[in-house]
Amino acid sequence: MGTGSGSPANQSHRLFEYANHIGESRHAAKQDGTARIKIFNRETKRGYAHNFTRVLVFAREHFGLRLAADLTPEMVAAFIQSLHQRGLASTTIAKYETVVNKADAIMRDCGWKPRTAPPLLPPEPKAPRERPDPLPYTSAEADQLLGWLARLREVRFGHMATLQRHAGLRIQEAVMLRAEAISESGDCVTLIRRDGQKSGRPRELRVFDAGAQRLLRELRASTLKRKRKRVFIDSDSEKKVKALMRAHQRALQWAATSLGIGHTKTHDLRRTYANEVLLKLQELGLDDKGAMGTLSGYLGHGESRMDKGLLGSYVALNRLGDFRPAGSPSTALD
């Protein structure tokens, strides 16, 4: 394979083409210990090559790298740090780490790097990593974010953030929202198959905020008037959906950073919805178990998920005061 010369894209393509074992048995490769240097799926190979190209382009721009074979742990560490600084999700960063480890193993096998060279990434710790507790935006923080986004020329970001905060939508569900999923009154959103749900299960979400109900009515009317199916995108193209999701995430990150808010995930708006709606359901007379069960249905979580993790991952029990209007009564969960 030579020394891996050429453009970053060319080098990355050639490297992962070397690992091309499409059609072979993954199980057999695991048994003989060669799975780490082989790829068995065409889309996986394409994704690896695309993402490793980004690593090489970064190293070329910041360190003058020419050959993939000369990539060093320091360059990779700087690239991973840049991903953290951009506020990318830990799962996304983990994908890049997987790509680097795969490329590292393949380069050693094909002769681009000495087998004795230090690994491009340090070995994974044997102890399980501790995941920080998810943190919802307080009601005040969410209001600040929505106000900041409302000033942007691209109004979709503010609208989608509003629906995540007041309708509990995941980011993909917000991006793929159908006009006919919105009730005429704007107080309900009904998701069916292919509406971007994580599980694919249909579900119904209640919207209690009057301003959000008004926005939903307007979005429904304007979208149907234009004879479009979805509110924010003009096709179901996966590429367009992913692009708008990334743009929305960047906009919210920009807003949170500008406002000095210490976390930047769009999903934290959904957690704000969970806290605010929990209080609303209790005000309507539901006991703790009933409120949590109803909330779990709105969020699209089953009973087992609710019992195992919903309290810890969505509802900030020690901060419920941050989600209660001033002067409102305390709840049993305080």
For residue 146, give both structure tokens.
Answer: 């929505």
Does 99 lie in the same domain as 26? yes
Does residue 150 belong to any structural domain of this protein? yes
Residues 241 and 165 in one domain: yes
CATH label of the domain that carries residue 309 = 1.10.443.10
pLDDT (tens place) for every residue of the chain, 334 residues total: 555 578 999 999 999 999 999 888 888 888 888 888 999 888 899 999 999 999 999 999 999 999 999 999 999 999 999 998 887 777 888 899 999 999 999 999 999 999 999 999 987 654 455 555 568 899 999 999 999 999 999 999 999 999 999 999 999 999 999 999 999 999 999 999 888 887 677 889 999 999 999 999 999 999 999 999 999 999 888 889 999 999 999 999 999 999 999 888 899 999 999 889 988 998 899 988 888 888 888 888 754 344 334 444 455 544 555 665 544 443 333 3
Instruction: Tell whether 212 and 161 lie within a shared domain.
Output: yes
Q: Which of 332, 267, 331, 263 is nearest to 300 (CA)?
A: 267
- Three-class SS of 299-320: HCCCHHHHHHHHHHHCCCHHHH
Asked whether residue 125 is assigned to any structural domain, the reply reads no
Q: What angle do CA 169, 170, 176 make, to 5 degrees?
A: 85
Q: Are 216 and 182 in contact (CB under 8 A)?
A: yes
Do 36 and 99 belong to one domain? yes
| Confidence at residue 326, expressed as pLDDT on a 0 to 100 scale | 47
C-alpha span between 49 and 11 (Å, rounded):
9
Where on the phi/psi map is residue 228: left (φ > 0), alpha (ψ -120 to 50), or beta?
Answer: beta
For 89, the domain range is: 8-110
Within this chain, do residues 80 and 150 fall inside the same structural domain, yes or no?
no
**pLDDT value of residue 56:** 96
Assigned domain for 38 exists: yes
Whether 104 is in a domain gets the answer yes
94, 110, 126 - which closes a domain: 110
Q: What is the pLDDT of residue 119?
A: 94
Q: Long-range contact list for 323-331, CB < 8 A, 24+ apart? A: 323/136, 323/138, 323/139, 323/272, 323/275, 323/276, 323/278, 323/279, 324/279, 328/279, 328/283, 331/279, 331/282
Name the domain count of the chain.
2
Q: What pLDDT score was predicted for residue 134?
A: 64
Report if residue 232 sits inside a domain. yes
